[in-house]
Amino acid sequence: MWRSSIASSLKNISLSAPAYHTAQDVTRPLIFHFQCFSTTTTRPPTSISASQSLTSTSDPLKLGLGFNSKSDIIRAYASTSSAAFSVSSLASSKAWGVVGLAQHYGNCYLELSKARLSMLVVATSGTGFILGSGSAVDVAGLCWTCGGTMMVAAAANSLNQVFEVNNDAKMKRTRQRPLPSGRISTCHAIAWASSVGIAGTTLLACKANMLAAGFAASNLVLYAFAYTPLKQIHPVNTWVGAIVGAIPPLLGWVAASGDVSINSLILPAALYFWQIPHFMALAYMCRNDYAAGGYKMISLLDASGQRTSLIALRNCLYLIPLGFFAYDWGLASGWFCMESSILTLAISATAFSFYRDRTMQKARRMFYASLLYLPVFMSGILLHRLSDDQQHLDANNSDRFPELLSLPGTAIDDNGHHNEVRTRQVNGVSPRRPPVAYASYAPFPFLPAPSYDSYR
């Protein structure tokens, strides 16, 4: 039985085989299998004597297996090895092909989405969500909001490259993108942008609210269908793009709170004014590329760079009062007001330096300062933000001690009217109030202000 099974299997094997070093290297494993078969058989065939040993290398030729010589054995065994190797190599090549294809399209999707720029958009949206959350931050809601924002931003950036494929092919900085280089088709890119855009908007509508989804959809349309074509029509595209960049933090605030308030406009305002000097520096450094691509930028109409640098400086100065507004409106503490002022003066100094000396080096310095400004500003406002409990405490202190907010020499009666207060004078000199009265209210709002009745 075992003899017939081996013979029938060997008849179906091709006789083509690769070269081997010696015959013993091929026959040794085959002889080992024959020995294993012989040990499992209780009674050997009658054609083989009991005194014969199967350990000799010539024994397989005497078994009547259909082999006439050692060369038949070599060719049969080599064919078996070659067939097994071909099957395994084919499976391995298919697996590597699938992995390579996935890696190729994954890289194309990342480049179409402008992953680093989209992550910056997600960071601003997440910051807005935390600022609008009040005392407790919904971590799950934050993750859903960031995920939806990432998808919508990826869709907007992908559509931007679809519409600008011919312009990108002319620019040295962008000609290696997936569409100009031909690594992905236009239809494929449109399908990718449409799918992630719809998925991101739906995610925000289901997990956040319809207002946040509306901001996301409107921002996608504004970026892809207004800002992108304006880049080839008029320099006003820079300010339209700044509006696009200012919406994500407002989206995050709305996703957390469900409404728009005056405090929700501080971070969007910072994003709007920050983008102008950031992009003016970039447009000045890359104006040759923009000219080759056919874009209409301020820097192309300003050969001396004076107007470009002046616009950058003016918008840097617009950033200065934002820290005070955040403190005055109860969004952040006084420490943030001071830190924001110092930070804004620093970036304004680089803009002023660029205004005085309009060189590539000064523009690059202002560009790097703008890259540093935004993460530091957002980190500071998150670190020094006031929760709802702290804001209510400040309001209660104002209600408890209204005389500290009134004019000097006046007081507020039960009906809310200001009445003059007569203070007792000693030898014609008004008594001094203890300094702790002011210190306990300004830097430490949680400490009660002392009573002044004993000084009147």
Comparing 84 with 121, which gets the higher pLDDT?
Answer: 121
pLDDT digits (tens, 9 = 90+) for 382-411: 999 987 655 555 545 544 444 444 444 444
Give the chain's mean pLDDT: 77
Q: Write down the pLDDT at residue 408.
A: 45
Comparing 278 with 171, which gets the higher pLDDT?
Answer: 278
Q: Reduced to 3 DSSP states, what percent helix, strand and coil does the chain have, rounded to the nearest 5?
A: 70, 0, 30
Helix (H) / strand (E) containing 113: helix 70-113
Q: Write down the pLDDT at residue 259.
A: 92
CA diameter of the chain = 143
Q: Write down the pLDDT at residue 68.
A: 54
Neighbours of 112 (CB within 10 A): 25
Q: Write down the pLDDT at residue 272.
A: 97
Comparing 447 with 79, which gets the higher pLDDT?
Answer: 79
- Asked if pLDDT for residue 337 goes beyond 60, the answer is yes
Lowest mean pLDDT among 62-66, 75-79, 219-223: 62-66
Query: Percent of the chain, pLDDT > 90?
Result: 55
Angle among Cα 278, 282, 285 to the nearest 5 degrees reads: 145
Three-state SS for 198? helix
